[in-house]
A and B are shown apart, each in its own frame.
Chain A
Amino acid sequence: METQYRFQKKHILGIEDLSPEDISFILDAADSFKEISQRSIKKVPTLRGKTVIHLFFEPSTRTRLSFEIAAKRMSADTFNISASTSSAQKGETLVDTARNLTSMNPDIIVIRHSSSGSPHLLAKHIGASVINAGDGTHEHPSQALLDMLTVRENKGQLKDLKIAIIGDIIHSRVAHSNIIGFTKMGAHVHVSGPATLIPPGIEKMGATVCHKVEEAIEDADVVMALRIQKERQFDPLFPSLREYAICFGVNDTRIQSAKPDAIIMHPGPINRGVEMTCEVADGKRSVIMDQVTNGVAVRMALLYLIMGGEDR
């Protein structure tokens, strides 16, 4: 007889901490939550009486909205604290913020912060469950989970797929979480982009580094392009956006060599014409809109599971 699996995580700080069983379990739960979002009354009472605080130290529209919709569909009480309204600018430290939040007795805190490891610091100083909604250049676990859900829906499995991730790997928490996650699930991740944007030791996290974008894309089941951050001026990472688009942009020509049924992904927001052309982003292989839909389902699953998965 097999032993009963139980989801036992209190926090979701990174894909690094999740086992393949945890990941499959979350994706299965998300599958079942998708149905709720298709009902005419999109609400279940699962988290009634629970308090979820969205603590966002970085501007974000889509991730915060996605978490908020997820919490509201589960009937939780939600509060938003964003950098502009928080005490961060008055010099309050994250630890102080955590202590103040404790007095409000929240059940879950969803945090986004520009410093890697800040969710870990928060978790150390607060009794509530913490969900990492993106920390610095470290991890963005809910994004990787929704990406895995999207791929699983389209491909029926994750094992043995070839996943090409193109672009700014070093500054991308999405790439980090996806490399860890897809590798854990038995897929093969190939990364490519300017060598200045490929972090040291990424091979040891399971990724294969390709010097040519074409090599990464060849026979790929999934092609994912990452957002180029235009603001990084102090470090000369590549000559120009124009050259980037020419040498590393995902365009119709480049995706020819992917598998015929390959899907195209992007965590958004897209710099159209830089890391991806409009034709590709809006083309028939693009599943970018599915990613957004799946985001809500995955986040509902996470909220549900870390609250102990009480009967629905």
Chain B
Amino acid sequence: MTTKPLLLKNGRIIDPANNIDQQGDILIINNQIARKGKSGTLSCPDNGRIVDLNGKWIVPGLIDMHVHLREPGEEYKETIASGTQAAAAGGFTAVACMPNTNPVNDCQTVTSFILAKAEKEGSARVYPVGAISKSSSGTELAEFGEMKEAGVVAVSDDGRPVANSQLMRRALEYSSNHNLLVISHSEEMSLSQNGAMNDGILSTRLGLRGIPRVAEEIMVYRDLALAEYVGRPVHIAHMSTRESVDLVRRAKAKGCKVSAETAPHYFSLSEEAIGLYDTKAKMNPPLRTHDDMLAIRDGLRDGTIDAIATDHAPHSVMEKDVEFDQAANGIIGLETAVPLTLALVNKNILTPSRMIELLSVNPARILRVEGGTLSEGKIADITVIDPEKKFVYSKEGIVSKSKNSPFLNWELTGKAVLTILGGKITFSDLEI
């Protein structure tokens, strides 16, 4: 199917993959970036549309490498359709979805189901992540070969971390036969079990069982050590503590093949956000201290952390409007990632180019998927960001099926205003 040509004019083109940050135009024909040029140098074919993007950023489509789409199994929280619509509204053209669905994505049947649904109903590219172990139960390896054949881009037992070190070692080794990335949800369960928030004075005050920072750090260290030992890459998911960042920094300095991500809440909030038992601020790993938040920001700035991924985790009021220790972990994140990351740009912690590396270039590189670039001839996955646009993040405005966010009613600055997936508009806040 062909779509009308589209000329994006007078935007600030931020394309770190090509080392470009300058005013310019981009012409999209069919599903590709046909031409890229300085402002005013491109003309639009007669049947095309022109959008003036003065004051806005044109960036490669954003890629969220860690989301939970909940389908199959928990469609009342989110579906592939609603989740990818939320992605498009947040400026994302692709998402990698974690395998902790029901059933767990541990075989080609589930992988194929997800991909077929995404093809039919999706508003973004969907890259399934398969399970490391069958049913993510931590005993036997899942069939990596079959899942890879069906289309998974990585494997992870996200949400149910691999407790057995030998199994993790075998997963790292065996992943080489299928060229699959292993993603570590780093959590030592014997330390974290039944915990509801970060362990410390605040958990003492609130009478909540703490999750000590070392529960994360021990497993970050274990998986870095195992990956180094077997000579395989590993990706550390959702880092939340200063020591985790330091561990990755040291591993990188040694030349280990490690990549790492964090989520916007870990660089935007500290455990204080829990206030008096606000379950909207409950997630795993938990919000940490102000000092950890600053360390995460440092890691983003200096390149230790490669990617910002939202860990978008939709839950209904049934899971959240309950006692704090009974409440489900996780918050939605797709529609707030852009303004929360822009806040770091506005604080001069990140440059605009660095922001786009974290949200697009690096996730594409780590997952080895298309996108992350505005080169001529490449697929036209493009996001337009208005860095000045102010909006109140309200329940009514949320596209995701679930509304569990600690940022509700925050006044945010910066928003994706146009999302283009393979030349087709999947979200627009502009008059076109």
A94: chain B residues within 8 A (beta carbon): 322-323
| Smallest beta-carbon distance A206→chain B, Å | 11
Q: Is B321 a contact of A204 with CB atoms below 8 Å?
A: no
Residue of A nearest to B210 (CB): A200
Interface residues of A in 157-196 (CB under 8 A from B): 170, 173, 176
Q: CA A17 – CA B206 in complex, angstroms? A: 13
Q: Is A200 a contact of B323 with CB atoms below 8 Å?
A: no
Residue of A nearest to B204 (CB): A199
Q: Is B207 a contact of A137 with CB atoms below 8 Å?
A: yes
Is the CB of B205 closer than 8 A to any CB of chain A?
Answer: yes
B325: chain A residues within 8 A (beta carbon): 115-117, 136
Q: Is A176 a contact of B207 with CB atoms below 8 Å?
A: yes
Q: CA A118 – CA B206 in complex, angstroms? A: 11
Is the CB of B430 closer than 8 A to any CB of chain A?
Answer: no
Is the CB of B137 closer than 8 A to any CB of chain A?
Answer: no
Q: Is B207 a contact of A138 with CB atoms below 8 Å?
A: yes
| Smallest beta-carbon distance A173→chain B, Å | 6
Would you give the 0/1 interface string for B203-222, flagging 1 where the beta carbon is closer than 8 Å to chain A?
11111111000000000000
| Smallest beta-carbon distance A150→chain B, Å | 23
Q: Is B324 a contact of A201 with CB atoms below 8 Å?
A: no
Is the CB of B432 closer than 8 A to any CB of chain A?
Answer: no
Would you give the 0/1 interface string for A68-92, flagging 1 where the beta carbon is closer than 8 Å to chain B?
0000000000000000000000000
Which of B205, B276, B326 sits near A120, CB closer than 8 Å? Answer: B276
Q: Is A117 a contact of B206 with CB atoms below 8 Å?
A: yes
Give the one of B208, B210, B276, B322 with max A CB within 10 A.
B276
| Smallest beta-carbon distance A36→chain B, Å | 33
A121: chain B residues within 8 A (beta carbon): 277, 322-324
Give the one of B201, B204, B209, B321 with max A CB within 10 A.
B204
Q: CA A135 – CA B276 in complex, angstroms? A: 13
| Smallest beta-carbon distance A136→chain B, Å | 5
Q: Is A113 a contact of B323 with CB atoms below 8 Å?
A: yes
Q: CA A120 – CA B323 in complex, angstroms? A: 9
Which of B201, B205, B323 sits near A115, CB closer than 8 Å? Answer: B323
Interface residues of B in 309-355 (CB under 8 A from A): 318, 321-326
Is the CB of A205 closer than 8 A to any CB of chain B?
Answer: yes
Is the CB of B199 closer than 8 A to any CB of chain A?
Answer: yes
Q: Is B201 a contact of A138 with CB atoms below 8 Å?
A: no
Is the CB of B37 closer than 8 A to any CB of chain A?
Answer: no
Q: CA A94 – CA B324 in complex, angstroms? A: 11
Which of A95, A118, A120, A200 sits near B204, CB closer than 8 Å? Answer: A200
Q: Is A173 a contact of B207 with CB atoms below 8 Å?
A: yes
B193: chain A residues within 8 A (beta carbon): 234
| Smallest beta-carbon distance B207→chain A, Å | 3
Q: CA A138 – CA B321 in complex, angstroms? A: 19
Residue of B nearest to A123 (CB): B276
Q: Is B322 a contact of A116 with CB atoms below 8 Å?
A: no
Which of B204, B205, B322 sits near A93, CB closer than 8 Å? Answer: B322
Q: Is B207 a contact of A135 with CB atoms below 8 Å?
A: yes
Q: Is A117 a contact of B277 with CB atoms below 8 Å?
A: yes
Is the CB of A278 closer than 8 A to any CB of chain B?
Answer: no
Q: CA A131 – CA B33 in complex, angstroms? A: 65
Residue of B nearest to A122 (CB): B323
Residue of B nearest to A135 (CB): B207
Question: Count the B residues whose beta carbon is within 8 Å of the partner chain — how many?
Answer: 23
Q: CA A136 – CA B207 in complex, angstroms? A: 7
Give the one of A170, A200, A204, A234 with max B CB within 10 A.
A200
A275: chain B residues within 8 A (beta carbon): none
Is the CB of B200 closer than 8 A to any CB of chain A?
Answer: yes
Would you give the 0/1 interface string for A93-133, flagging 1 where the beta carbon is closer than 8 Å to chain B?
11100000000000000000101111011000000000000
Q: Is B204 a contact of A115 with CB atoms below 8 Å?
A: no
Is the CB of A219 closer than 8 A to any CB of chain B?
Answer: no
Q: CA A16 – CA B276 in complex, angstroms? A: 12
Q: Is A116 a contact of B200 with CB atoms below 8 Å?
A: no
Q: Is B203 a contact of A200 with CB atoms below 8 Å?
A: yes
Is the CB of A139 closer than 8 A to any CB of chain B?
Answer: yes
B201: chain A residues within 8 A (beta carbon): 200-201, 204-205
Is the CB of A270 closer than 8 A to any CB of chain B?
Answer: no
Q: CA A305 – CA B282 in complex, angstroms? A: 35
A95: chain B residues within 8 A (beta carbon): 321-322
Say yes or no: A115-B210 contact (C-beta < 8 A), given A121-B277, A200-B200, A201-B204.
no
A137: chain B residues within 8 A (beta carbon): 207-209
B209: chain A residues within 8 A (beta carbon): 137
Would you give the 0/1 interface string for B166-206, flagging 1 where the beta carbon is closer than 8 Å to chain A?
00000000000000000000000000011000011111111
Give the one of B277, B325, B326 with max A CB within 10 A.
B277
Q: CA A117 – CA B278 in complex, angstroms? A: 10
B318: chain A residues within 8 A (beta carbon): 93
Which of A16, A115, A202, A234 sits near B326, CB closer than 8 Å? Answer: A115
B276: chain A residues within 8 A (beta carbon): 117, 120
Would you give the 0/1 interface string for A34-67, flagging 1 where the beta carbon is closer than 8 Å to chain B?
0000000000000000000000000000000000
Q: Is B207 a contact of A120 with CB atoms below 8 Å?
A: no
Q: Is B207 a contact of A139 with CB atoms below 8 Å?
A: yes
Q: CA A48 – CA B200 in complex, angstroms? A: 45
Residue of A nearest to B212 (CB): A200
Residue of A nearest to B277 (CB): A117
Q: Is A205 a contact of B204 with CB atoms below 8 Å?
A: yes
A16: chain B residues within 8 A (beta carbon): 205
| Smallest beta-carbon distance A303→chain B, Å | 23
| Smallest beta-carbon distance B316→chain A, Å | 12
Q: Is B200 a contact of A201 with CB atoms below 8 Å?
A: yes
Say yes or no: A202-B204 contact (C-beta < 8 A), given A95-B321, A117-B277.
yes
| Smallest beta-carbon distance B66→chain A, Å | 29
Which of A93, A113, A138, A204 sits near B206, CB closer than 8 Å? Answer: A138
A200: chain B residues within 8 A (beta carbon): 199-201, 203-204, 210
B203: chain A residues within 8 A (beta carbon): 199-200
Q: Is B323 a contact of A117 with CB atoms below 8 Å?
A: yes
| Smallest beta-carbon distance A178→chain B, Å | 13
**Residues of chain B at the chain A interface (Cβ within 8 Å):** 193-194, 199-210, 276-277, 318, 321-326
- Interchain residue pairs with CB less than 8 A apart (5): A115-B326, A120-B276, A137-B208, A173-B207, A200-B199
Q: Besides the contacts A205-B201, A234-B194, what 6 more A-B pairs have beta carbons closer than 8 Å? A: A94-B323, A95-B321, A121-B322, A136-B207, A201-B200, A205-B204
Shortest 8 CB-CB distances between A and B: which pairs?
A201-B201, A138-B207, A115-B323, A117-B277, A116-B207, A137-B207, A199-B204, A117-B324
